[in-house]
Chains A and B, each alone.
Chain A
Amino acid sequence: MQLPIINQSEKTREYASRPGMTRRSFLRTGTAATGAVAAIAASLSPLRELTDTDQFSVSRFLQKHYKEMDGQDMAAALERISKAVEKRYDVRPDIRDIKPMDGVEFVYALNLTRCIGCRKCVHACVEENNQSRSPEIQYIRVLEMPRGTTDIEQGNHHYQRATVPSEDHYYMPIQCHQCANPPCVKVCPVEATWQDSDGITVIDYDWCIGCRYCEAACPYWARRFNFSTPSIPKDKINPDMSYLSNRPRENGVMEKCHFCLHRTRLGKMPACLEVCPTGARKFGNVLDPNSEVRQILESKRVFVLKQEAGTLPRFFYYFDERDSTNETNPANPANGGDA
């Protein structure tokens, strides 16, 4: 279909109220346009505060997903991260990419009879994993549970006492349960989080888009979001880092407990276990029949939190089979030896 074309002079006149008033129309259009440009520029002016340009560099933009990186890519990424950390914290980190070991599946077991709720694990974890002090991010939350219930909704997260334990309570630390059927992995739209062969669910902090769907999906409230650029005192930086675990995070990404994989994948115990004063925390390779955790699963009455959620946690709780009501009473002679 051939359409008649409007000639040029008609076109220019199309929206003019009256022909021949171009100067006035130019002036008023100019005023409006100048005002609009000024207003848009003013509204975008906070972007000048964007100082951490490393976050938006080209090499950063082109960095691949963790699983698609070859050795060279990883080396380049680690070098870039090292430089960024050094620039920001004046510490040259020893940062590596540590792969899971073959024939290893990690399991954690926690003895609720022994935990006294001192929160040493919480703060040791913060120091080990370069967690933000402001806004505060902690992977472990210790609940003070009243006797008579195992319903975690009755736990107190904010107990403050002169000393612990309180006679009337027991204590339940909760952290990432490293589920075998992790809902957080399922929901991630960009595969920024996945479960490694040793059972640790990890996050590629450079891939996460920060939608926080995983945070909504986790029944154990194990995931944390960096609501702003984390702040860590320079003298508190732990330079022993790995790509998937404790390297300093950036604004707008998720993080979570990773069983200290930069330690545990090298055979060491996690930091929360090392600091526990009562030996309530047990960690190891469940595929090794002689490991402590395997012994616990074989001989203790263990349970997991929210089994009905179907997440198959690798974090087990157990009590010692004893009269636990007398246990914290120093006046009880039977208490003397066993506590």
Chain B
Amino acid sequence: MIDSIKEFAREYPRFLYRCFRLSFVGDWRYYTWMFFLSVIALFGLNAYAKQFVQGLITTGMTDQVSWGLYIANFTYLVGIAAAAVMLVIPVYVYKNKDLHNLVIFGELLAVVAIIMCLMFITADLGRPDRFLHLFLRFNFPMSILTWDVIALNGYLLLNLHICGYLIWCAYNKRQPTKIFYIPFVFTAIVWAISIHTVTAFLYSGLGARPFWNSAVIAPRFLASAFAAGPALIILTLQVIKAGTGYPVSDKAISTLKGIITVALGINMFLLGSEVFTEFYTGASHSVSAKYLFFGLHGYSALVPWIWSAIALNTFALLVLLTPAGKNRWLLNAACLAMIVGIWIEKGMGLIVPAFIPSPIGEIVEYVPTLNEVLVCTGIWAFGLLMYTILVRVTIPVLYGDLLVDKIYHTDPSIFETKKSSSTQDSAGVSPEKRR
């Protein structure tokens, strides 16, 4: 026991160090990509430093529209994080074989998405220097925001544990012990639903904002998350396959395609229910919806956004439902369309209009500033950077190229297609056998 702890204490830092070193190794495409992301992230950091000094006045937010792009991105990314369960459920509950070697990428995506969520929340805080106050006076269970703090950080820890444990085992050429991760996987499934439900309750619990105060918000959030998240995973898997030759079967893609078709359909249905209730009743509570879809008293900044979101989602749904979806390029276009469409629908279409008009009837429109956009793109770039590094170190481990007792011979052609036969020889555990 003592020995194994000692061994862990010695080997684990070395593992991290090797991963760290490995993240700087790649071919010219890798360097270009990472450099590009780093520059955008640095510009974001620079914009955030300015915001930290000058205050949130550097954003387009006002007392009227007091949440903007940051919270919109946060909400969207909670959905992306929660969507990892759309890979986990088929594999662990329905024993799906096609997704089995891919589920780790979904979980890594969840880790990155949650970290990005936390960054967006921090960017939105007026006094991030006081975040310790959360630990000193935690208004639990009254404030839904405290629920969200628990839900998000809990989900982050769960996924870090699951990914970390599985990769560590592969690195050590061990079969993972079920008791150390299966219970966590099932907890994470429930937890994933809860993070997005709690995030939806953040909004739907506010009686002051009739636009949000609707029971359908939580189901809508889940449906849109389970559409946009797996769509993003479909695109990511293809990039991973093209870049590293990691096996991604067509059946896996089509399983995910089935999931996003249903989820997008449900999402559009729920949006339709919402729109019907708002407009058929004709109550004055529908002013925000009126502003969003048609404009109000000559103010109509969000109208093009929501209609383009609806157009994108409709296009995606049509592609998915018809034989056109069998064409890989059209499928990818549909995925991209719904990723963007749902981003608009949840950000510009759900967060911002609830503030317009203000609770006492004032119409002030919201336009993000350049600085605010730079912070957002910076966080996105940093997220992609993290995800690239995680995938970059995970794949050699899964291949058996990076193992505890094996030197990783720098083959800068890591992004080149590998012959699977050589992989199997060198790896103690092949990716397929891993679970």
Contact = CB atoms under 8 A, between A and B. Distances in A.
A221 interface: yes
B55 A251 contact: yes
A135 B49 CA distance: 20
A37 B63 CA distance: 38
A226 interface: yes
A43 B49 contact: yes
A183 B21 contact: no
Contacts of B42: 39-40, 42-43
Interface string A25-67: 0000000000010011011111101100001100001000100
A220 B163 CA distance: 46
A187 B126 contact: no
B322 interface: no
Interface string A195-233: 000000000000111111101111111011111110000
B379 interface: no
A4 B202 CA distance: 52
Contacts of B333: none
A210 B407 contact: no
A227 B53 contact: no
Contact of A225 (B4, B126, B136, B207): B126
A311 B67 CA distance: 22
B16 interface: no
Given A14-B18, A14-B21, A14-B407, A44 B45 contact: yes
A212 B94 CA distance: 43
How many A residues touch the partner, as a band? 35 or more
Contacts of B50: 46
Nearest to B354: A216
B132 to A, nearest CB: 8
Nearest to A10: B407
Contacts of B177: none
Contacts of B64: 221
A7 B267 CA distance: 57
Interface in B329-364: 354-355, 357-362
A336 B18 CA distance: 91
Contacts of A65: 133, 136-137
Nearest to B403: A3
B133 A209 contact: yes
A218 B361 contact: no
Contacts of A154: 361
Interface string B194-225: 00000000100111110000000000000000
Contacts of A219: 207-208, 359
Nearest to B364: A157
B57 interface: yes
B226 to A, nearest CB: 26
A144 to B, nearest CB: 11
Interface stretch (B84-92, B107-115, B142-150, B415-423): B142-150
A212 B67 contact: yes
For A143, A190, A251, the residue with the greatest tally of chain B CB atoms inside 10 Å of its CB is A190
B131 interface: yes
A142 to B, nearest CB: 11
Given A190-B134, A219-B207, A227-B56, A212 B360 contact: no
Contact of A253 (B126, B138, B208): B126
B178 interface: no
A160 interface: no
Contact of A6 (B45, B206, B209, B407): B407
B96 interface: no
A329 to B, nearest CB: 28
A65 B25 CA distance: 49
A252 interface: yes
Contacts, number: 213
A17 interface: yes
Nearest to B43: A43
A208 B57 contact: no
B4 A1 contact: yes
B36 interface: no
Contacts of A183: 206-208
B130 interface: yes
A153 interface: yes
Contacts of A153: 284, 287, 357, 360-361
A151 interface: yes
A188 interface: yes
A154 B206 CA distance: 22
A210 B126 contact: yes
Contacts of A5: 405
A157 B66 CA distance: 18
A311 to B, nearest CB: 8
B46 A226 contact: no
B61 interface: yes
A159 interface: no
A4 B172 CA distance: 11
Contacts of A251: 55, 126-127
A86 to B, nearest CB: 23
Contact of A50 (B11, B53, B67, B361): B53
Contacts of A309: 207-208
A174 B360 contact: yes
A43 B126 contact: no
B7 interface: yes
B359 A45 contact: no
A165 interface: no
Contacts of B56: 210, 225, 227-228, 252
B57 to A, nearest CB: 4
Contacts of A45: 46, 49
A310 interface: yes
A267 interface: no
A181 to B, nearest CB: 10
Interface of B: 4, 7, 11, 18, 21-22, 24-25, 38-39, 42-43, 45-46, 49-50, 52-57, 59, 61-64, 66-67, 121, 124-131, 133-134, 136-139, 142-146, 149, 172, 174, 202, 205-209, 284, 287, 354-355, 357-362, 404-405, 407-408, 410, 412
Given A187-B206, A208-B130, A225-B66, 9 more contacts: A16-B410, A137-B63, A153-B361, A219-B208, A226-B126, A228-B56, A252-B125, A253-B127, A254-B126
Those 5 A-B pairs whose CB atoms lie nearest each other, nearest first: A210-B126, A252-B126, A153-B361, A219-B208, A43-B46
Interface of A: 1-6, 10-11, 13-17, 36, 39-40, 42-47, 49-50, 55-56, 61, 65, 135, 137, 141, 143, 151-155, 157, 174, 183, 186-192, 207-213, 215-221, 223-229, 251-254, 306, 309-311
25 contacts: A14-B410, A15-B25, A43-B46, A45-B46, A46-B52, A65-B136, A135-B57, A151-B361, A153-B284, A155-B361, A157-B362, A187-B145, A187-B206, A189-B145, A207-B133, A209-B127, A210-B127, A210-B130, A211-B121, A216-B66, A216-B209, A216-B354, A223-B63, A253-B126, A309-B207
